[in-house]
C-alpha cells in the first residue's frame, strides 16, 4: 500500500504520542546557605563623617542593617540575621559589653540553626575582645571579628570589603575548629596572634610572631596557611555568674621610672599588674622593687614588653622564681591583661597562673 505524505505524517505523530519521553536532565540541587548572625558593637566600621572630607567621625552611628546593605553580595554567601549588641567606639569597650556579647554568642553557637557568627567591632580594642572571646567561647563554629580603619561614609572605606570577606570565612566549613578569627584587609588572623600596629593604615593588623592564619580575597576560596590545631578554640574560662572581671592594671616602664604607678595600682584595688617592660620585660630597679612588694602582698604580677614582637621568657633578665612573677611569653601587655583577668577568676597561685599563660 502506498502511503501519502499526509498518512506518513499522521503515523509519525501517533508514534511520537505513544513513545516514552526521554528523561530531562535536572539541575543539581543548590546547597543550603550557611546561617550566620552578625553581632554589631559599633566602631569605625559603623562610623559616619559629619562632613565629607573631614578626618573626624562618629563611631557606631550606622545600624547593622545598613552595614549589610553596603556590602553587595552578602546574601549569596549566607542567610544573614543581625543583632545590635552595642553602638560604641571600641575605646569605650567595657566588661558589661564583653560579657553581654560573649553570652549572646554562646547562646547562638549552641543553636543548631546557627552556623557561624560575625562580630563588627572598632579596631582600637578589637584584639582584646577577640582574645577574650577566644578564651571564653566553647564551640567549633566560626566566630569572626571584623572592623575597619575608615568610617562607612569615607571615600574608599574598606568596611564593606572586610565585612564581605568576614562573612565568607564565617560561612565556610573550613573555618570550623580554628578558634576566634579576625578578618581585615584580605587577611585572616588568629585572635591570639594579631595586634594593631598602625594608627591609620588599613594594614594595621599584623600577626607579628606567628604570621597570618589565611588569605581571604573576594571571589576566591580562602587559602589557609595554618592548620586548625594551631589556632584551635580554647574556651578555657567560664563567665557564668560574672558581671565584671577582676581589676588588672598595666604599668609602663621607661627611663627613670619609679614605683609610683605600681603603688597607685595596688591602692586602687588591682588584683593583678601587667608590666609593659622595656626589652625583655624589664624595668628600673625602683619599679621592679615596687612590683616585688606588690607580689608579696598577693597581687599577681605579669611581665610583658612594650616592644612590638618577641617572647618574654622566665628568669632571663629578671629572676621570676625569686620575685614571684609570671612571664607573659608572647602576649603583649593588653592581651596579657585579658588572660590575667580571666585567670584570676580561677586562681591567685603564681605557678598556676604561669601554667595558664603557657597553655592559652
Which residues does the annotation mark as catalytic? 44
Strands (E), the chain: 34-42, 78-88, 116-120, 143-146, 180-184, 187-190, 195-196, 205-206, 214-215, 223-224, 248-252, 272-277, 300-305, 325-327
Distance CA 145, CA 182 (A): 5
Q: How far apart are CA 127 and CA 337, in angstroms?
A: 12
Give the Cα separation of 45 and 40 in Å (integer): 10
Dihedral pair phi/psi, residue 323, rounded to 5°:
-90, -10
Burial of 78 per CB tally in 10 Å (0-12, 13-18, 19+): buried
Q: Which DSSP category does 231 fall into? A: G
- Using the structure block, give the residue that is written with the C-alpha cell 589556632: 231
* In the block, residue with C-alpha cell 592559652: 360
Residue 32, SS3 per DSSP? coil
CA dihedral 16, 17, 19, 23 (to 10 degrees): 100
CB 42 within 8 A of CB 86: yes
Amino acid at each position: 500500500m502506498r502511503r501519502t505524505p499526509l498518512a506518513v505524517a499522521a503515523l509519525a505523530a501517533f508514534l511520537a504520542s505513544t513513545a516514552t519521553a526521554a528523561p530531562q536532565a535536572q539541575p543539581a540541587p543548590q546547597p543550603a546557605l550557611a546561617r550566620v548572625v552578625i553581632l554589631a558593637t559599633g566602631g569605625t566600621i559603623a562610623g559616619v563623617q559629619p562632613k565629607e572630607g573631614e578626618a573626624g567621625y562618629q563611631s557606631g552611628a550606622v545600624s547593622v542593617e545598613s552595614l549589610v546593605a553596603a556590602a553587595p553580595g552578602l546574601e549569596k554567601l549566607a542567610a544573614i540575621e543581625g543583632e545590635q549588641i552595642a553602638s560604641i567606639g571600641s575605646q569605650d569597650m567595657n566588661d558589661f559589653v564583653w560579657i553581654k556579647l560573649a553570652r549572646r554568642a554562646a547562646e547562638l553557637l549552641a543553636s543548631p540553626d546557627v552556623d557561624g557568627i560575625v562580630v563588627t567591632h572598632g579596631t582600637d580594642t578589637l584584639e582584646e575582645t577577640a582574645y577574650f572571646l577566644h578564651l571564653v567561647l566553647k564551640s567549633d563554629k566560626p566566630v569572626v571579628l571584623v572592623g575597619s580603619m575608615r568610617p562607612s561614609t569615607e571615600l574608599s572605606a574598606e568596611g564593606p570589603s572586610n565585612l564581605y570577606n568576614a562573612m565568607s570565612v564565617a560561612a565556610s566549613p573550613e573555618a570550623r575548629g580554628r578558634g576566634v578569627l579576625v578578618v581585615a584587609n584580605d587577611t585572616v588572623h588568629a585572635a591570639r596572634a594579631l595586634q594593631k600596629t598602625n594608627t591609620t593604615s588599613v594594614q594595621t593588623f599584623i600577626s607579628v610572631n606567628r604570621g597570618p592564619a589565611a588569605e581571604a580575597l573576594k571571589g576566591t576560596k580562602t587559602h589557609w596557611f595554618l592548620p586548625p590545631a594551631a589556632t584551635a578554640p580554647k574556651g578555657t574560662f567560664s563567665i557564668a555568674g560574672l558581671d565584671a572581671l577582676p581589676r588588672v592594671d598595666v604599668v609602663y616602664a621607661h627611663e627613670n621610672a619609679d614605683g609610683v604607678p605600681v603603688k597607685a595600682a595596688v591602692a586602687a584595688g588591682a588584683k593583678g599588674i601587667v608590666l609593659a617592660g622595656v626589652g625583655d620585660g624589664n624595668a628600673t630597679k625602683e619599679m621592679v622593687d615596687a612590683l616585688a612588694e606588690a607580689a608579696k602582698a598577693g597581687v599577681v604580677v605579669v611581665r610583658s614588653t612594650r616592644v612590638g614582637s618577641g617572647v618574654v621568657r622566665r628568669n632571663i633578665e629578671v629572676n621570676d622564681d625569686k620575685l614571684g612573677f609570671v612571664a607573659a611569653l608572647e602576649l603583649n601587655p593588653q592581651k596579657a591583661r585579658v588572660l590575667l583577668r580571666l585567670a584570676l577568676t580561677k586562681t591567685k597561685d603564681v605557678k598556676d597562673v604561669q601554667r595558664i599563660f603557657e597553655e592559652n
